[in-house]
Amino acid sequence: MKFAKIAAAATVALLALAGCGGGNNPMAEKTKAPATKAPADTIVVGSADFPESTLIGEIYAGALRAKGVKVTTKFGIGAREIYLKALEDGSIDLIPEYTGNLLQAFDEKTTASTSDDVYSELKKATPSKLTVLEQASAEDKDAVAVTKETAAKYKLKKLSDLKPVAGKLVLGGPPEWKTRERSGVPALKKVYGLQFKGDFKSLKGTLIPQALANGQVDAANMFTTDPMVQKNGFVLLDDDKALFPAQNVVPLINKSKASPKVEEALNGVSAKLDTKTLLSLNTQVVVDKKDASAVAKQWLAQNGLV
């Protein structure tokens, strides 16, 4: 997908989200895009609108500052369609990404699924103004979660098990999941034949677990490193038809800002960050309610990156 198509998608996404509110309603979504172009001597680190993205953004920012790089942050931007446009217009320079979904955003026809294949294709598909640096072994994949009660009631262990009962269940997740052809609701219908009850419920990312736990939805798009899965005893259904590709954490950066010093700092993070560590860090932020910046600083110090 070229940047022109991404920009068009961003416009559509902004229009779709403009009428939604925030607050404590888990069915509401609030998205904003930064407007000011980043200074030439500064790297502006952005993030999507969920805790893990902000946490990794803090880690990237801290690692860069430790190398003497001037950094500012603009976190909580929103969906991929929005922050890719922000990278294009230069209002941010760097954002934590996930290889599989990013590849699908750049190449609609890709069929890559393994970690190595996805990363190899991603490097080729990334637009010329951007570059991806080294990927981490840390992986956070899309998944469909249900409560233990729902899993027991319908004998659900894998996504294929949903087919005979999906019409009785309400599905929820982030707004963009409703239309994502390769990894969202359309893909669940195409690959697994799933047709859920009623309309898809658009949920603010941090409140998805609440909506699932209190019965506003019966199934939800969550992620494999979300500590709220374990905390709430949710069941992640096995992706038995390999719908969701590998999703390794990777820095996506404007090529003009990717100096050797910057690359060294960010690649150093990727070399140390694994899935077990990411889940532990997420737990500190989401469950233990620690400040993401403090958690990032502690991890960087423990790993010799500051």
CATH of domain 142-236: 3.40.190.120
Per-block mean pLDDT, blocks of 10 residues, the chain (306 long): 48 36 36 64 94 97 98 94 94 97 93 95 97 98 97 98 98 92 92 96 88 97 94 97 95 97 98 97 96 98 97
Q: Which residues lie below 8 Å from residue 41, measured CB to CB, with a gap of 6+?
A: 70
Give residues with Cβ within 8 angstroms of 246, minimum separation 6: 99, 100, 113, 114, 115, 117, 118, 119, 139, 141
Distance CA 191, CA 62 (A): 41
Which residues touch 25 (CB under 8 Å, ≥6 apart)? 204, 207
What's the pLDDT score for residue 181? 86
CA distances from 210 to 8, 148, 157, 228 (A): 32, 15, 22, 9
Q: Using CA atoms, how far apart are residues 212 and 281, in angstroms rounded to an integer?
A: 23
> Where are the domains positioned within the chain?
3-139+246-302, 142-236
Q: State the amino acid at position 1 in one-letter form.
A: M
DSSP state of 138: -
pLDDT at 6: 52
Question: Matching CATH topology for 3-139+246-302 and 142-236?
Answer: yes
Contact criterion met (CB below 8 Å) for 219 and 145 = yes
Give the pLDDT score at 238. Answer: 97
Q: What is the pLDDT of residue 227?
A: 94
DSSP lists the bridge partners of residue 25 as none
- Pick the closest to residue 79 from 111, 99, 57, 102 (CA basis): 102
Domain 3-139+246-302 matching CATH 3.40.50.2300: the answer reads: no
